[in-house]
Amino acid sequence: MNSYENPGIIIQARMGSKRLPGKVMKEIDNKPLIFYLIKRIQLSSIKNIYLATSEFEENDLIINYINENFPEVIVFRGSEHNVFSRYFEVANKYNLSTIIRLTADCPLIDFRIINMMYEKFISFNPKIDYFSNTTPVEKRTYPDGMDVEIFSFEALRKANMLNLTDTELEHVTHCFLNSRHNFKINKIDFKTNLSYLHLSVDYQHNFDLVEKIIKKLIVYKLDASLEEILNILNHEKL
Protein backbone atom coordinates (compact mmCIF):
# COMPACT_ATOMS: atom_id res chain seq x y z
CA MET A 1 0.00 0.00 0.00
CA ASN A 2 1.26 3.47 -0.89
CA SER A 3 1.98 5.34 2.34
CA TYR A 4 0.40 8.46 0.87
CA GLU A 5 -3.01 7.00 0.11
CA ASN A 6 -4.98 8.75 2.84
CA PRO A 7 -4.25 12.49 2.78
CA GLY A 8 -6.24 14.98 4.81
CA ILE A 9 -6.49 18.72 5.16
CA ILE A 10 -6.41 19.93 8.76
CA ILE A 11 -7.50 23.53 9.34
CA GLN A 12 -6.60 25.12 12.64
CA ALA A 13 -9.12 27.68 13.85
CA ARG A 14 -10.07 29.45 17.03
CA MET A 15 -12.00 32.49 18.18
CA GLY A 16 -9.31 33.75 20.54
CA SER A 17 -7.02 35.65 18.17
CA LYS A 18 -5.25 38.41 20.10
CA ARG A 19 -4.84 40.68 17.08
CA LEU A 20 -8.37 40.34 15.66
CA PRO A 21 -10.62 38.35 17.99
CA GLY A 22 -13.28 36.22 16.36
CA LYS A 23 -11.89 36.88 12.88
CA VAL A 24 -12.81 33.48 11.41
CA MET A 25 -16.49 34.20 12.07
CA LYS A 26 -16.46 37.83 10.91
CA GLU A 27 -18.96 38.09 8.09
CA ILE A 28 -18.52 39.15 4.48
CA ASP A 29 -21.66 39.24 2.35
CA ASN A 30 -23.59 37.56 5.19
CA LYS A 31 -21.20 34.60 5.42
CA PRO A 32 -18.33 34.09 7.88
CA LEU A 33 -14.74 34.10 6.70
CA ILE A 34 -14.44 30.35 7.28
CA PHE A 35 -17.24 29.72 4.76
CA TYR A 36 -15.07 31.01 1.91
CA LEU A 37 -12.05 29.02 3.05
CA ILE A 38 -13.91 25.72 3.22
CA LYS A 39 -15.81 26.25 -0.02
CA ARG A 40 -12.57 26.99 -1.86
CA ILE A 41 -10.56 24.09 -0.46
CA GLN A 42 -13.43 21.67 -1.14
CA LEU A 43 -12.58 22.22 -4.80
CA SER A 44 -9.22 20.51 -4.24
CA SER A 45 -8.47 16.84 -4.85
CA ILE A 46 -8.17 16.23 -1.07
CA LYS A 47 -11.62 15.27 0.17
CA ASN A 48 -10.88 14.52 3.84
CA ILE A 49 -11.19 17.87 5.65
CA TYR A 50 -10.86 18.35 9.41
CA LEU A 51 -11.22 21.44 11.55
CA ALA A 52 -9.06 21.38 14.67
CA THR A 53 -10.00 23.90 17.33
CA SER A 54 -9.57 24.11 21.09
CA GLU A 55 -11.74 23.08 23.99
CA PHE A 56 -12.42 26.70 24.98
CA GLU A 57 -16.16 27.43 25.11
CA GLU A 58 -15.83 30.45 22.84
CA ASN A 59 -15.08 28.08 19.96
CA ASP A 60 -18.57 26.58 20.19
CA LEU A 61 -19.61 29.25 17.69
CA ILE A 62 -17.22 27.86 15.06
CA ILE A 63 -18.15 24.25 15.78
CA ASN A 64 -21.89 24.87 15.64
CA TYR A 65 -21.52 26.69 12.34
CA ILE A 66 -19.43 23.92 10.79
CA ASN A 67 -21.74 21.18 12.04
CA GLU A 68 -24.79 22.95 10.64
CA ASN A 69 -23.33 24.06 7.31
CA PHE A 70 -20.52 21.62 6.54
CA PRO A 71 -21.45 18.28 8.16
CA GLU A 72 -18.90 16.57 5.89
CA VAL A 73 -16.09 18.42 7.71
CA ILE A 74 -14.96 16.55 10.82
CA VAL A 75 -14.48 18.74 13.89
CA PHE A 76 -11.90 18.01 16.57
CA ARG A 77 -11.31 19.80 19.88
CA GLY A 78 -7.96 19.78 21.64
CA SER A 79 -5.46 21.95 23.47
CA GLU A 80 -5.66 25.73 23.05
CA HIS A 81 -1.90 26.29 23.03
CA ASN A 82 -0.46 22.88 22.10
CA VAL A 83 -1.65 23.02 18.50
CA PHE A 84 0.87 20.33 17.55
CA SER A 85 -1.07 17.86 19.68
CA ARG A 86 -4.28 18.74 17.83
CA TYR A 87 -2.65 17.82 14.54
CA PHE A 88 -1.12 14.64 15.87
CA GLU A 89 -4.35 13.45 17.48
CA VAL A 90 -6.44 14.12 14.37
CA ALA A 91 -3.93 12.44 12.04
CA ASN A 92 -3.55 9.47 14.37
CA LYS A 93 -7.28 9.02 15.00
CA TYR A 94 -8.21 9.13 11.31
CA ASN A 95 -5.17 7.24 10.00
CA LEU A 96 -3.96 10.07 7.80
CA SER A 97 -0.83 9.31 5.86
CA THR A 98 -0.23 12.87 4.68
CA ILE A 99 -1.33 16.10 6.34
CA ILE A 100 -2.01 19.36 4.52
CA ARG A 101 -1.93 22.14 7.09
CA LEU A 102 -4.02 25.26 6.53
CA THR A 103 -5.02 28.06 8.87
CA ALA A 104 -8.47 29.60 9.06
CA ASP A 105 -7.16 33.12 8.52
CA CYS A 106 -6.31 32.33 4.87
CA PRO A 107 -9.75 32.32 3.20
CA LEU A 108 -8.39 33.10 -0.27
CA ILE A 109 -6.21 30.00 -0.57
CA ASP A 110 -6.20 28.69 -4.14
CA PHE A 111 -7.09 25.00 -4.31
CA ARG A 112 -4.80 24.66 -7.33
CA ILE A 113 -1.81 25.32 -5.08
CA ILE A 114 -2.95 22.52 -2.76
CA ASN A 115 -3.32 20.10 -5.67
CA MET A 116 0.00 21.03 -7.25
CA MET A 117 1.94 20.81 -4.00
CA TYR A 118 0.37 17.51 -2.97
CA GLU A 119 1.30 15.94 -6.32
CA LYS A 120 4.85 17.20 -5.96
CA PHE A 121 5.06 15.99 -2.36
CA ILE A 122 4.10 12.41 -3.18
CA SER A 123 6.39 12.35 -6.22
CA PHE A 124 9.60 13.27 -4.39
CA ASN A 125 12.20 10.54 -4.67
CA PRO A 126 13.69 10.06 -2.17
CA LYS A 127 10.72 10.96 0.00
CA ILE A 128 10.76 14.10 2.10
CA ASP A 129 9.16 14.87 5.45
CA TYR A 130 7.92 18.41 4.96
CA PHE A 131 7.04 20.64 2.00
CA SER A 132 5.98 24.30 2.06
CA ASN A 133 5.48 27.36 -0.11
CA THR A 134 5.82 30.02 2.60
CA THR A 135 8.50 28.84 5.03
CA PRO A 136 10.97 29.85 6.14
CA VAL A 137 9.23 33.23 6.18
CA GLU A 138 12.32 35.22 5.21
CA LYS A 139 12.64 33.20 1.99
CA ARG A 140 9.00 33.13 0.92
CA THR A 141 7.88 34.32 -2.53
CA TYR A 142 4.22 33.30 -2.37
CA PRO A 143 1.88 35.92 -0.87
CA ASP A 144 1.04 35.62 2.80
CA GLY A 145 -2.39 33.98 2.77
CA MET A 146 -1.55 31.30 0.20
CA ASP A 147 0.22 29.22 2.84
CA VAL A 148 0.25 25.46 2.33
CA GLU A 149 2.34 23.07 4.42
CA ILE A 150 2.43 19.33 3.76
CA PHE A 151 4.05 16.65 5.89
CA SER A 152 3.86 12.92 6.36
CA PHE A 153 2.37 11.25 9.39
CA GLU A 154 5.68 9.46 9.89
CA ALA A 155 7.39 12.85 10.26
CA LEU A 156 4.66 13.99 12.65
CA ARG A 157 5.05 10.80 14.69
CA LYS A 158 8.81 11.28 14.86
CA ALA A 159 8.34 14.90 15.98
CA ASN A 160 5.87 13.78 18.62
CA MET A 161 8.64 11.73 20.26
CA LEU A 162 10.98 14.72 20.46
CA ASN A 163 11.29 17.14 23.34
CA LEU A 164 9.61 20.01 21.51
CA THR A 165 9.70 23.56 22.82
CA ASP A 166 6.55 25.51 23.70
CA THR A 167 7.02 27.51 20.49
CA GLU A 168 7.26 24.34 18.40
CA LEU A 169 4.13 22.96 20.07
CA GLU A 170 2.20 26.15 19.43
CA HIS A 171 3.28 26.63 15.82
CA VAL A 172 3.09 22.95 14.78
CA THR A 173 5.63 22.88 11.96
CA HIS A 174 8.52 24.87 13.45
CA CYS A 175 10.03 21.56 14.50
CA PHE A 176 10.44 20.49 10.86
CA LEU A 177 12.36 23.68 10.09
CA ASN A 178 14.70 23.25 13.06
CA SER A 179 17.90 21.78 11.61
CA ARG A 180 18.78 19.98 14.86
CA HIS A 181 15.85 17.60 14.27
CA ASN A 182 17.20 16.49 10.85
CA PHE A 183 13.94 16.43 8.91
CA LYS A 184 14.09 16.27 5.13
CA ILE A 185 12.40 19.43 3.90
CA ASN A 186 11.79 21.24 0.64
CA LYS A 187 10.03 24.40 -0.50
CA ILE A 188 8.51 25.77 -3.68
CA ASP A 189 8.69 29.34 -4.98
CA PHE A 190 6.23 31.45 -6.92
CA LYS A 191 7.18 32.68 -10.39
CA THR A 192 7.67 36.22 -9.02
CA ASN A 193 8.41 37.47 -5.52
CA LEU A 194 5.09 38.47 -3.92
CA SER A 195 6.28 38.16 -0.33
CA TYR A 196 5.19 41.76 0.28
CA LEU A 197 1.53 40.92 -0.40
CA HIS A 198 -0.59 40.18 2.68
CA LEU A 199 -3.74 38.20 1.87
CA SER A 200 -4.23 36.54 5.26
CA VAL A 201 -6.34 38.12 8.00
CA ASP A 202 -4.31 39.21 11.01
CA TYR A 203 -5.55 42.75 11.58
CA GLN A 204 -8.63 44.80 10.67
CA HIS A 205 -6.94 46.36 7.64
CA ASN A 206 -6.17 42.85 6.32
CA PHE A 207 -9.82 41.92 6.77
CA ASP A 208 -10.87 45.08 4.91
CA LEU A 209 -8.72 44.11 1.91
CA VAL A 210 -9.91 40.49 1.89
CA GLU A 211 -13.51 41.73 2.14
CA LYS A 212 -13.03 43.86 -1.00
CA ILE A 213 -11.54 40.91 -2.91
CA ILE A 214 -14.34 38.58 -1.86
CA LYS A 215 -17.07 41.08 -2.74
CA LYS A 216 -15.55 41.99 -6.11
CA LEU A 217 -14.52 38.49 -7.17
CA ILE A 218 -15.07 35.46 -4.95
CA VAL A 219 -18.84 35.84 -4.47
CA TYR A 220 -19.18 35.68 -8.27
CA LYS A 221 -16.40 33.19 -8.96
CA LEU A 222 -15.79 30.87 -6.03
CA ASP A 223 -12.99 29.05 -7.84
CA ALA A 224 -11.06 32.24 -8.67
CA SER A 225 -7.34 31.59 -8.96
CA LEU A 226 -4.45 33.42 -7.33
CA GLU A 227 -3.75 35.00 -10.73
CA GLU A 228 -7.32 36.33 -10.89
CA ILE A 229 -6.98 37.74 -7.39
CA LEU A 230 -3.73 39.45 -8.40
CA ASN A 231 -5.46 40.84 -11.48
CA ILE A 232 -8.22 42.36 -9.34
CA LEU A 233 -5.63 43.88 -7.03
CA ASN A 234 -3.70 45.38 -9.93
CA HIS A 235 -6.66 46.76 -11.86
CA GLU A 236 -9.01 47.78 -9.07
CA LYS A 237 -6.30 49.47 -6.99
CA LEU A 238 -7.64 47.83 -3.82
**Which residues lie closer than 8 Å to 122 by C-beta, 6 or more apart?**
2, 4, 98
Alpha carbon distance 14, 137 (integer Å): 22
Average pLDDT over residues 162-191: 92
**pTM for the whole structure:** 0.95
Radius of gyration for the chain, computed over Cα atoms and rounded to the nearest angstrom = 17
- List 131's β-bridge partners, or say none: 150, 186
- List 52's β-bridge partners, or say none: 12, 76
pLDDT reading at 195 higher than 70: yes
Average pLDDT over residues 112-122: 97
**Residue 2 — very low, low, confident or very high, per pLDDT cuts 50/70/90?**
very low
pLDDT reading at 19 higher than 90: no
- pLDDT given at position 4: 47
**Residue 202 — very low, low, confident or very high, per pLDDT cuts 50/70/90?**
very high
pLDDT reading at 52 higher than 70: yes
Average pLDDT over residues 79-105: 95
Contact 15, 25 (CB under 8 A): yes
- pLDDT given at position 236: 77
pLDDT reading at 107 higher than 50: yes
- pLDDT given at position 68: 98
pLDDT reading at 15 higher than 50: yes
Alpha carbon distance 181, 175 (integer Å): 7
Average pLDDT over residues 12-31: 92
Listed residue (173, 237, 9, 178) closest to 106, CA to CA: 9
- Lowest-confidence segment of 27-31, 177-181, 187-191 by average pLDDT: 177-181
- pLDDT given at position 3: 46
Residue spans per domain, the chain: 7-236
Average pLDDT over residues 51-69: 96
Q: 7-236 architecture in CATH?
A: Alpha-Beta Complex (3.90)
Output the CA–CA distances (angstroms, integers) from residue 42 to 26, 30, 116, in the order listed.
20, 20, 15
Contact 79, 85 (CB under 8 A): yes
Average pLDDT over residues 212-216: 97
pLDDT reading at 1 higher than 70: no
pLDDT reading at 17 higher than 90: no
Contact 104, 33 (CB under 8 A): yes
